[in-house]
Structures are given as structure tokens and as C-alpha cells.
Amino acid sequence: MSEAETLAMKLEVVVIPVSDVDRAKAFYAGLGWRIDADLAGDDGVHVVQLTPPGSGCSVAFGTGVSRAEPGTAGPFELVVEDIDTARVALLARGVERVDVFHGAPWARLEGPDPERRNYQTYGAFVDPDGNEWLLQEVSAPRGRGDHAGSAV
């Protein structure tokens, strides 16, 4: 392969560790995520896969799927056009808390970016096991195509 050629690699599925498959399925389906698969085998393996609306990447979890401890995954980032709308929707759908902050994800200055600059406002929430999710407000995507959309 020459330097001019690139090898396309699209992130398809991210595995998250959960302690209760049915509880996790209900949580993510309650967020409006599409259930792509719910497969149980005779070998005790149970896999559930869901996709957030507008996403090209799914999450999968189940029994016999991950060696990681439940609640240790993330943060995973979801892009939303409006953090306030996403926050209200998530709270209405059963998420206990969505913390809104600005700056870099590691700085976490309370509240939205004062100038509401693109890519500068975040929200954070956890699933029932403690796996962390970030929302990033992107109203005008740059450079990587149109990936802005609602995560809820």
C-alpha cells in the first residue's frame, strides 16, 4: 500500500461492561437507542447491541462479552446539536443527572461555554453501572463530515 492510499477503518461497535444485561438494555432502549440485536446462546453468552439515533457506531454488552469490570468504561462521546435540549431529553428518559460544563473534558468548568463556542460545551452522565458518557455540543461540524446530530 502506498502512502497515498488509506485503509478505511470505521468504528462499528464499542463493548461496555455491565452487571445486569436486562437493566442495561432497558436503560439504553429508554434513551431511544435502536435495539439491533439481542442474542442468547446455549453456552451462556448473551449479547445485546444498541445504536444511538444518528450514530454509525453501536454499543454492545452482555454476559461473556467483556472481561472489564462493570462501570469502568468511558468516557464515550456523543455529539449533540444543543446541549440543553439533550440534557432535558435525557433527564426525561430516566438519566439521573447530566452535568453541563465547558473547557476540556478534564477541566470541567461548571456550566456551558459562556460564548457558546462550537465544540466547547459538554454534558456528562453515567449508565446504571457507572460507565461514563459525554455529550459534546457541535452545532457546525468541521473537518470530518456531518456528524452533528441528536444523541437522544
Q: Per-domain residue ranges for the chain?
A: 13-137
The CATH number that domain 13-137 falls under is 3.10.180.10
Q: Provide the pLDDT for residue 152.
A: 41
Q: Provide the pLDDT for residue 27.
A: 98
Exposure string (b/e) for 88-117, b if CB count within 10 Å is 16 or more?
ebbeeeebeebebbbeeeeeeeeebbeeee
How far CA 139 is from CA of 3, 25, 87, 96, in Å, comes to 34, 29, 15, 25
Q: Provide the pLDDT for residue 28.
A: 98
Q: Provide the pLDDT for residue 105.
A: 76
If the chain, 152 residues long, is cut into consecutive pieces of 10 residues, what is the mean pLDDT of each piece?
Answer: 79 96 98 97 92 96 94 96 97 97 88 93 97 94 52 40
What's the pTM value of the predicted model, to 2 decimals?
0.86
C-alpha 120/C-alpha 122 separation (Å) is: 7
Q: Provide the pLDDT for residue 140.
A: 80
Q: Provide the pLDDT for residue 143.
A: 64
